[in-house]
Structure 1
Amino acid sequence: MKKTKLVGIIILGLAFLIGLIFFVIGYFKPKVAGIFIETDPPANVFIDGEEVGRTPYEVNRSPGELVIKLIPDSFQAPLTPYETKVNLIAGVQTVIRRVFADSEEGSAGEIISFERIAKEETSLTVVSIPDSAQLEIDGRDKAFTPHKTSSILPGGHTLVLSSEGFQERIIEVKTHQGYKLTAIVKLAKSQGQEVIETLSVTPTPSDIGKEMVEILETSTGFLRVRREPSTLGEEIGRVEPGEKYPLIQTDEKTGWFEIEYEEGKEGWISNQYARKIEGGSKLTPTPSKKVTQTPSPKVTPSPN
């Protein structure tokens, strides 16, 4: 009986010792971070000045800041290389995607990374180049960059970024509970795209004789259009100084103007940066140029 107890104690002791060893090894084992790079066309990859391979390139490295340089294959017109700094976070993967062109302005791409936050939270931050691009999330939520939200569910999401004079870019991302996903998106300037002339709503022939609102100069170069007559109202659009819009009504409490800023779309602007004017025959439609956009390839990053 005593012998059986002794054997049991020895087995339990060995099991505890083995478990302790595995725990210590796992605790002190260096944590790694991942990086994935994809380009069009393929490119040579340099990390901290050392050539490490070609795209598509994927590797695990120690966490910390790295200098990434990508030199694209160029068999015809020379393409512009790309260089950036990234900070690799332990346990997650950073994604770099680049579409090269013969100039920096014509190039596009994104850097997508994750950062740990509270376990019960899910967060998304989108930054764009150029700034103030229109952002559409899953075809419903619209905002302007930079944009941060914690009101997003874990799972796959479609981001569509657009800005006048730039090519639209579509990105597929996957958010995860306990992580903040940050997407830094570079839009390419439109070149050789089909240009279509359309009439702006500022003003139209039907506006003649109507009371109008003229947008005044602002420090930002634009004026926000909001859903309610208050600075707390949701931003639904933007208008620029010098433009004129039909006046719908004036809010008695705040003095804000409700205007038709797009055909069939109405919103409120601050009366501090706008003034009433009378419509007249001198107000004529002005053609504005819209560029047909071509969606870009998609990339779906995820934490390691």
Structure 2
Amino acid sequence: ITISFLVLRLIKPPKAALLVESSPNSTAFVNGEQVGRTPYEGEFSAGEVVIKLIPDSFESPLAPYQSTVDLVAGIKTVVRRSFGDTDDTSAGEVVSFERIGGDKASLSVISIPDGAQVSLDSQTRGRTPIKITDLETKEYHLEVAADGYQKRDFVVKAVSGYLLTAEVKLAAQPGNVEGVTTPEVPEEPTEETVEKVKILTTPTGFLRVRQEPTTQSVELGQVVPGEEYILLAIDEKSGWFKIEYETDKEGWVTNQYARKVENNPEASPSPSPSPTPIPKASPSPTPIATP
């Protein structure tokens, strides 16, 4: 029986678990393959995987998220994302374990931006990047905060013999870009401006242009992620954008893969091609080591 078990272990090494949560819900892709919708949980072979999340966007467009995550055999890695309209206003964390041995637990916290204050159970422990050792095996309330950003807090469970790693992304507060608060500048009356729509990254590499604001409508053409087009109208019911996708040609694109960009002075009437990027998270299942 022992020999058979060892052979089985060699043939089928332990899997790595992945839990993905987001706000709002999103469509999840792993290594380019659609695996489901959040909350999503699955098992994969250990190693690096590319995770991509396309958020549901019914009112205003939200920035998709994509990142490479290293999955460890026998360990559940947790990915959480709270979507904003840009990467700066998005937040989240990636939490996982690494076996280090010994009878104590350790915690490593990395953040964007650097230098964020880290607190465990309301006690300040330092600033990121930081490694905290000699922790007891139990649940802790982790809080990461920085000036000009919305704080992030969630529950983690430290396990003896393991290093718990939390990579935390903070969302910039309104009016704050890359940690620097920018004063509002009164708009000066200038020449006529034109609103545009930017096409976001899509799973197919293109976005269909429809005759009407619905996926059931006739396809008129296709547009490419990264390009910008003149915005003609917004459908109040669906939020779809009506654009001029070619000179004197109009059609509708879904706001799930497109977003409005800041007004630009109108220089020419024709569309000018020009990825876009990536929750306060509520407590959710924490990573559990399965040695």
Structure-1-length-normalised TM-score: 0.58
Question: Does the CA-based 8 Å contact 1:168-1:296 persist in structure 2?
Answer: no
2:114 matched residue in structure 1: 131
Give CA deviations for 1:35-70 in whole Å, capped at 9, x if unaligned: 000000111111111111111110011001101100
1:34 matched residue in structure 2: 17
The structure whose RCO (Cα within 8 Å, separation 6+) is larger is 2
**Counterpart among 10, 27, 32 of residue 44 in structure 1:** 27
Alignment root-mean-square deviation, CA: 1.9
> CA–CA distance in 1 between the matches of 2:101 and 2:2?
29
Alpha-carbon shift at residue 87 of structure 1 (Å): 0.7
Alpha-carbon shift at residue 297 of structure 1 (Å): 1.9
2:204 matched residue in structure 1: none
Alpha-carbon shift at residue 141 of structure 1 (Å): 3.6
More strand by share: 2
> CA–CA distance in 1 between the matches of 2:33 and 2:41?
15
Give CA deviations for 1:268-296 in whole Å, capped at 9, x if unaligned: xxxxxxxxxxxxxxxxxxxxxxxxxx964
Moved over 3 A (4+): none
Alpha-carbon shift at residue 192 of structure 1 (Å): 7.9
2:185 matched residue in structure 1: none
> CA–CA distance in 2 between the matches of 1:296 and 1:65?
24
> CA–CA distance in 1 between the matches of 2:57 and 2:87?
15
Counterparts of 1:1-304 in structure 2, within 5 Å, are: 18-191=1-174, 296-299=281-284, 300-304=286-290
**Residues 112 and 71 from structure 1, CA distance in 2 versus in 1: closer, same or farther, beyond 3 angstroms?**
same
Q: Among the aligned pairs, what percent are the same residue?
A: 45
> CA–CA distance in 2 between the matches of 1:125 and 1:78?
34
More helix by share: 1
Which residue identity is paired with 1:301?
P
> CA–CA distance in 1 between the matches of 2:149 and 2:106?
27
Give CA deviations for 1:85-142 in whole Å, capped at 9, x if unaligned: 0111111011000000111111110000111111323110001111101111111243
Tell me the SS of whatever aligns to 2:171. coil
**Residues 20 and 176 from structure 1, CA distance in 2 versus in 1: closer, same or farther, beyond 3 angstroms?**
same
Give CA deviations for 1:193-216 in whole Å, capped at 9, x if unaligned: 9xxxxxxxxxxxxxxxxxxxxxxx
Which residue identity is paired with 2:289?
P
Segments of 5+ residues of structure 2 without an aligned counterpart are 177-278
Question: Does the CA-based 8 Å contact 1:33-1:89 persist in structure 2?
Answer: yes
Question: Does the CA-based 8 Å contact 2:96-2:165 persist in structure 1?
Answer: yes
Question: Does the CA-based 8 Å contact 2:107-2:163 persist in structure 1?
Answer: yes
Segments of 5+ residues of structure 1 without an aligned counterpart are 1-17, 194-293
Which residue identity is paired with 1:81?
P
> CA–CA distance in 2 between the matches of 1:104 and 1:127?
17
Alpha-carbon shift at residue 21 of structure 1 (Å): 2.3
Q: Who wins on radius of gyration, i.e. which is larger?
A: 1
